[in-house]
């Protein structure tokens, strides 16, 4: 079976579970392998644990929400996004498989650097690839909403891959402006003219109304052009999401600004002792952009504009002077990215059998205990 084909399997028994890789927003990720195949990353979501958090919702609705990520994965056809390799659906869990990225995540790579910072050239490379991936997602009307170094994986080629799509949202396509015939007068136009000329109209002959070219929007009021839901990670969430006044693709550009700040300064621009303090800073504090006012700092400032209507857009980002010299059409063809993982160190050996369901349950239990401790700390 070629790696471009979907790899089908029906149960965990069909897979060799090698090791625990990490946590997603809702799932636990394992390194797995099919016989005579390359390694895969299997994200396992516990339906049992999700039911505890989804009070009042049916099992069918919870399953539908979990499988939204699968539906997103099946849509993708881009070198910087995962390819869907198969699924496992049982009464207790859902498993989604994608290609394994041996380079780990960008967070780990960043922490290996001197003072936990990247050079400007490395930042430019990773930022450009993230921009291309987000451009593709936005073209599918998807707002990612969880951009952070933890969700940027390094493929064996050294190019990035964005993962973890369980809090994405899909918006309606932007309304299309349709030209109205030039000699058409709308009902609103007629009412306005009648009110304006009513006192004298009885004494005058009808006068032809001058042709007007109007634009009308063919849309339905129920269409979703912005999301009102609360979603994101503490240090990366945008002001408009916190305010719950509706957000769109611009929220992802805020996330990119936070990431660029981290890669440049080695720390978060907004960070309090509690989530509330962090959120207050996001809403009220300006980022501390110290140092020479370089092109990168200028771009970060434009990305971290708290007003989404004033925030820099895709077109402005790609034409910004920080990316001067970047060929957007060929960047994916670069054969020597800043870091290429040593795949020779990846040895797939038989290991002690992992009870995936029990392991996932323990992870959820640990999360619950942590939430209790955080709650106690907040009250104190």
Catalytically annotated residue among 99, 146, 150, 164? 146
Chain centroid to CA 80: how far?
13
Please indicate whether residue 146 is annotated as part of the active site: yes
Biggest alpha carbon distance in the chain? 98
Distance CA 348, CA 204 (A): 91
- DSSP for 211-272 reads P---EEEE--TT--SSB----S-TTT--HHHHHTS-B-THHHHHHHHHHHHHHHHSS-SS--
Q: What are residue 298's DSSP bridge partners?
A: none
Cβ neighbours of residue 77 under 8 Å, at least 6 residues apart?
Answer: none
Do 76 and 129 meet the contact criterion of CB atoms below 8 Å apart?
no
Residue 94's DSSP bridge partners are: 45, 89
Q: Strands (DSSP E) along the chain, which ranges?
A: 16-23, 28-33, 39-46, 86-89, 93-99, 142-143, 152-154, 160-162, 169-170, 176-179, 215-218
Report the C-alpha gap between 275 and 273 in whole angstroms.
7
The residues that are catalytic are 146
């Amino acid at each position: 079976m070629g790696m471009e084909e979907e790899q089908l399997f029906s149960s965990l028994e069909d897979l060799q579970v090698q090791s625990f890789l990490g946590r997603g927003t809702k799932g636990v990720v394992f390194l797995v392998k099919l016989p005579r195949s390359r390694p895969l990353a299997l994200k396992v979501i516990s339906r049992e644990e999700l039911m505890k958090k989804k009070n009042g919702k049916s099992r069918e609705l919870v399953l539908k929400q979990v499988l939204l990520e699968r539906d997103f994965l099946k849509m993708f056809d881009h070198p910087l996004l995962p390819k869907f390799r198969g699924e496992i659906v049982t009464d207790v869990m859902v498993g989604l498989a994608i290609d394994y990225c041996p380079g780990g995540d960008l967070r780990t790579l960043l922490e290996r650097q001197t003072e936990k910072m990247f050079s400007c050239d490395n930042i430019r490379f990773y930022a450009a690839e993230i921009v291309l991936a987000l451009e593709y997602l936005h073209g599918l009307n998807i707002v990612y909403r969880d951009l952070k170094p933890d969700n940027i994986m390094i493929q064996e080629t050294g190019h990035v891959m964005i993962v973890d799509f369980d809090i994405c949202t899909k918006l309606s396509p932007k309304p299309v402006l349709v030209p109205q015939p030039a000699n058409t007068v709308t009902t609103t136009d007629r009412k306005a003219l009648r009110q304006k000329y009513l006192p004298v109209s009885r004494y005058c002959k009808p006068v032809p109304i001058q042709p007007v070219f109007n634009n009308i929007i063919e849309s339905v009021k129920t269409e979703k052009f912005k999301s009102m839901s609360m979603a994101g990670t503490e240090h990366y969430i945008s002001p408009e999401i916190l305010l719950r006044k509706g957000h769109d693709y611009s929220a992802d550009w805020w996330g990119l600004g936070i990431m660029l700040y981290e890669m440049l300064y080695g720390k978060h621009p907004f960070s309090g002792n509690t989530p509330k303090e962090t959120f207050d800073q996001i809403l009220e504090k300006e980022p501390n952009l110290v140092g020479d006012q370089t092109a990168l700092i200028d771009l970060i400032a434009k990305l971290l504009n708290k007003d989404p209507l004033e925030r820099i857009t895709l077109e402005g980002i790609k034409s910004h002077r920080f990316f001067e010299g970047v060929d957007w059409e060929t960047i994916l063809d670069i054969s020597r990215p800043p870091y290429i993982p040593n795949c020779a160190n990846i040895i797939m050996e038989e290991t002690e059998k992992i009870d995936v369901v029990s392991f996932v349950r323990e992870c959820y239990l640990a999360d619950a205990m942590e939430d209790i401790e955080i709650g106690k700390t907040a009250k104190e």
